[in-house]
Structure 1
Amino acid sequence: MPLRKEASSSSDSDADDRAAPPSSSLAAVEVQVQLSRFHLETLEGSATGVVEVRGLTLGVDKRELLTDAVLYLKSGVRYGLIGRNGTGKSTLLRALADKTIPGLPRDMKIVYVEQENVPGDGRTALQTVLDAGSARGRLVAQIAELEAALDDDPDPQEEERTDEQGEQEEAARESGARADNSTGDSEPPPPPHPPPRERLTRHQRRLVECVRAILATRAEDTAVEAEQAAARRSRLRGKVALRNALAAREAARRTREDELSYDKAASQAPQLLADLYEALDELGASEEEELAAASAVLEGLGFGAEQRDAPTKQLSGGWRMRVALGCALLARPHLLLLDEPTNHLDIQSILWLQDHLANHCAGQTLVLVSHDRAFLNAVAQETILLRDAALTYFPGTYEAYMQAKAEASAHKERQLGAQERQRAHFEATIQRAEKAARDAGDDKRLLQAASRKKKIDRIGSEKTADGKKFKVSYWVGYHDTLRPQVELDKPEEPVVIQLPPPEALRQRGPLLQLRDVTIAYGGSPKAVAEAEAATAAAVMAAAAAAANPVQSGTRSSKSAVTAGRKAAAEAAAAAAVAAEAAAAEARAAAGVVLSHVTFDVEAGSRIGLLGLNGSGKSSLMRVLAGQLAPAAGELAAPASTRLVVACLDQHSGRRLLQQHGRSSGPEGGPATPFTAVQGCCPTLRQQEVFDYLGKFAVPGPLASTPLAALSGGQRIRVALALEMLARPHVLLLDEPTNHLDLVTVQALAAAVNNWEGAVVLATHDLQFLKDTCNQVWVVEGGAVTRQPQPEAADAVADYAARLMQGIQRRAARSKRQ
Structure 2
Amino acid sequence: MSASIGSQVRRTAASVDPIVTDYAVGYFNHLSGITYDAVQSKLIDLPSEVEFVCELLRNSGAADDKVERLSKDILTQLSLQLEENQAKLEVTGDTSKRLLDINVLQSHNSKANLNASLGMLGVDNDIEHAGRNMDTRVDLKKLAKAEQKIAKKVAKRNNKFVKYEASKLIDEKRDDDYDSFFLKINPLDFGSAAGKSKDIHIDTFDLYVGDGQRILSDAQLTLAFGRRYGLVGQNGIGKSTLLRALANRELNVPQHISILHVEQELRGDETAALKSVLDADVWRKQLLSEESKINERMQEIEKLRTEFEEDSLENKKLDNEREDLDNHLEQISEKLIDMESDKAEARAASILFGLGFSAEAQSKPTNSFSGGWRMRLSLARALFCQPDLLLLDEPSNMLDVPSIAYLSEYLKTYPSTVFVVSHDRIFLNEVATDIIYQHNERLDYYRGQDFDSFYATKEERRKNAQREYDNQMAYRKHMQEFIDKYRYNAAKSQEAQSRIKKLEKLPVLEPPEEERSITFKFPDCEKLSPPIIQLQDVSFGYNETDLLLKDVNLDIQMNSRIALVGANGCGKTTLLKVMMEQLRPLKGYVSRNSRLRVAYFAQHHVDAMDLNSSAVDWMSKTFPGRTDEEYRRHLGSFGITGSLGLQKMQLLSGGQKSRVAFASLCLTNPHILILDEPSNHLDTNGIDALVDALKNFTGGVLMVSHDISVIDSVCNEIWVSESGTAKRFDGTIFDYRDYILASANDKGVVKKH
Residue 328 of structure 1 is matched in structure 2 by: 382
Pairwise CA distance, 1:614: 1.6
CA distance in 1, matches of 2:747, 2:619: 50
Q: Which has the higher contact order (CA 8 A, sep 6+)?
A: 1
Which runs of structure 2 are paired with 1:613-652 in the superposition (5 Å)? 613-638=568-593, 641-652=594-605
**CA distance change for structure 1 residues 45 and 677 in 2, over 3 Å: closer, same or farther?**
farther
Deviation at 1:482, TM superposition (A): 5.3
What is the Cα deviation at residue 286 of structure 1? 6.0
Matched residue type, 2:165: S
Shift of residue 58, structure 1, vs aligned partner: 1.1
Aligned-residue offset at 1:738? 1.7
The Cα of 1:75 is off from its aligned counterpart by: 2.0
Match of 2:537 in 1: 516
Which structure 2 residues correspond to residues 217-232 of structure 1 after superposition, within 5 A?
Answer: none
1:304 equivalent to 2:358? Answer yes
TM-score by length of 1: 0.61
Q: CA deviation at 1:422?
A: 8.8
Deviations 1:310-369 (A, max 9, x none): 22233333222222222222222221111111111111111111111112x12x121110
| Corresponding residue for residue 202 of structure 1 | none
1:123-134 map, 5 Å: 123-133=271-281
Q: Does 1:803 align with 2:740?
A: yes
Q: What residue number does 1:375 align with?
A: 427
Matched, 1:493 2:643: no
Give the structure with higher Rg (CA). Answer: 1
302-311 or 56-65, larger mean C-alpha shift: 302-311
Equivalents in 2 of 1:100, 1:710: separation in Å? 25
Cα separation, partners in 2 of 1:146 and 1:278, compared to 1, 3 Å: closer
User: Does 2:358 align with 1:403?
Assistant: no
Q: How does 1:72-83 map to 2 (within 5 A)?
A: 72-83=222-233
Aligned to 1:358: 412
Q: Say if 1:323 and 1:812 are closer, same or farther in 2 by CA, change over 3 A.
A: closer
Q: Which amino acid in the other structure matches residue 755 of structure 1?
A: F
Cα deviation, residue 814, structure 1: 8.6
Instruction: Find the counterpart in structure 2 of residue 191 from structure 1.
Output: none
What is the rounded CA distance, in whole Å, between the counterparts of 2:296 and 2:508 in structure 1? 72
Code of the aligned partner of 2:572: K
Determine helix, strand or coil for the equivalent of 1:67.
Answer: strand
1:690-729 equivalence runs, <5 A: 690-729=632-671
| 2:122 equivalent in structure 1 | none
CA–CA distance in 2 between the matches of 1:367 and 1:611?
27
What amino acid is aligned across from residue 139 of structure 1 in structure 2? L
**Of residues 140, 154, 166 in structure 1, which corresponds to 2:288?**
140
**1 CA distance for matches of 2:441 and 2:260?**
24
Q: In the alignment, which of 201, 206, 209 is matched to residue 52 of structure 1?
A: 201
Aligned equivalents of 1:328, 1:410: Cα separation in 2: 40
Change (3 A) 1:483 1:348: same
Structure 1 counterpart of 2:381, which letter? C
How many Å separate the matches in 1 of 2:555 and 2:374? 37
Contact 2:541 2:585 (8 Å CA) reproduced: no
After superposition, where does 1:311-710 map in structure 2 within 5 Å?
311-359=365-413, 361-362=414-415, 364-395=416-447, 396-412=449-465, 480=503, 483-484=506-507, 488-502=511-525, 504-505=526-527, 507-518=528-539, 520-523=540-543, 527=544, 589-590=545-546, 592-638=547-593, 641-656=594-609, 660-661=610-611, 670-710=612-652
Deviations along 1:648-695, whole A, 9 cap, x unmatched?
121222132xxx34xxxxxxxx42221111113332112111111222
**Within 5 A, what are the aligned runs for 1:741-780?**
741-780=683-722
Q: Which residue of structure 2 lines up, in the alignment, with residue 219 of structure 1?
A: none
Matched residue pairs, number?
Answer: 555
Instruction: Give 3-state SS (helix, strand or coil) of 2:519's partner.
Output: coil
2:476–2:503 contact (8 Å) kept in structure 1: no
Q: Tell me which residue corresponds to 1:230.
A: none
SS in 1 for 2:694: helix
Q: 1:70 to 1:315 in 2, by over 3 A?
A: same
- Please tell me the residue identity of whatever aligns with 1:494: S
1:188-337 aligned within 5 A: 281-282=333-334, 283-284=336-337, 288-337=342-391
Kept after mapping to 2: 8 A contact 1:672/1:705: yes
Residues 643 and 117 of structure 1: CA distance in aligned 2, closer, same or farther (over 3 Å): same
Q: CA deviation at 1:762?
A: 0.9
Summarize the Cα distance change of 1:633–1:64 in structure 2 as closer, same or farther, 3 Å threshold. Answer: same
Q: How far is the alpha carbon of 1:137 from its aligned partner? A: 3.8
CA distance in 2, matches of 1:676, 1:343: 26
Label 1:109 to 1:508 Cα distance change in 2 as closer, same or farther (>3 A): same
The percent of aligned pairs where both chains have the same amino acid is 32
Q: Mark the CA change 1:280 to 1:412 in structure 2 (over 3 Å): closer, same or farther.
A: closer
Matched position secondary structure for 2:396 = coil
Q: How far apart are 1:139 and its partner, in Å?
A: 2.1
**Alpha carbons 2:229, 2:434 under 8 Å: kept:** yes
Cα offset for 1:374?
A: 0.7
Q: Are the aligned partners of 2:207 and 2:217 in contact in 1 as well (CA < 8 Å)?
A: yes
Q: Give ranges in structure 1 of 5+ residues lacking alignment.
A: 16-21, 26-42, 151-265, 435-442, 459-477, 528-588, 662-669, 790-794
- Write the distance in 1 (CA, Å) between the matches of 2:579 and 2:428: 32
Cα shift at 1:724: 1.9
1:643 corresponds to which letter in structure 2?
A: L
Give distance in 1, aligned partners of 2:620 and 2:366.
Answer: 42
Q: How far 1:44 moved relative to its partner? A: 12
Name the stretch that deviates more: 347-356 or 487-496: 487-496
User: Residue 625 of structure 1 contacts residue 646 of structure 1 at CA under 8 Å; is this kept in 2?
Assistant: no
Q: Normalising by structure 2, what TM-score?
A: 0.66
Displacement after TM superposition at 1:376 (Å): 1.2
Query: Residues 393 and 695 (structure 1 numbering): CA distance in 2 closer, same or farther, change over 3 Å?
Result: same
Shift of 1:772: 0.9
Name structure 2 gaps, 5 residues minimum.
1-152, 176-191, 299-317
Residue 47 of structure 1: SS of its match in structure 2? coil
Change (3 A) 1:330 1:594: same
Q: Contact between 1:499 and 1:695, CA under 8 Å: does it hold in 2?
A: no
Deviation at 1:812, TM superposition (A): 7.3
Native 8 Å contact 2:638 2:660 kept in 1: yes
Q: Deviations over 1:693-715 (max 9, x none)?
A: 22222224222222344443333
RMSD of aligned C-alpha atoms? 4.1
Residues 421/711 of structure 1: CA separation in 2 closer, same or farther (3 Å cut): closer
Mapped to 2, the partners of 1:148 and 1:684 lie a distance apart of 76
Amino acid of the structure 2 residue aligned with 1:405 = K
Structure 1 CA distance, aligned partners of 2:595 and 2:235? 38
1:130 is aligned with what amino acid? L
Label 1:320 to 1:8 Cα distance change in 2 as closer, same or farther (>3 A): same
Rounded Cα–Cα distance in structure 2 between residues aligned with 1:758 and 1:813: 36
Distance in 2, matches of 1:86 and 1:5, equals 20
Equivalent in 244, 247, 250 of residue 97 of structure 1: 247
**Alpha carbons of 1:326 and 1:479: their partners in 2 closer, same or farther (altered >3 Å)?**
farther
Cα distance in 2 for residues equivalent to 1:24 and 1:718:
31
How far is 1:143 from its partner? 5.5
- Displacement after TM superposition at 1:599 (Å): 2.2
Which residue is equivalent to 2:42? none
* Partner SS state of residue 747, structure 2: helix
Amino acid at match of 2:214: E
The answer to whether the 8 Å contact 1:643/1:729 transfers is yes
Q: 1:813 to 1:694 in 2, by over 3 A?
A: closer
Quote how far apart the aligned CAs of 1:120 are.
Answer: 3.6
CA distance in 2, matches of 1:326, 1:72: 26
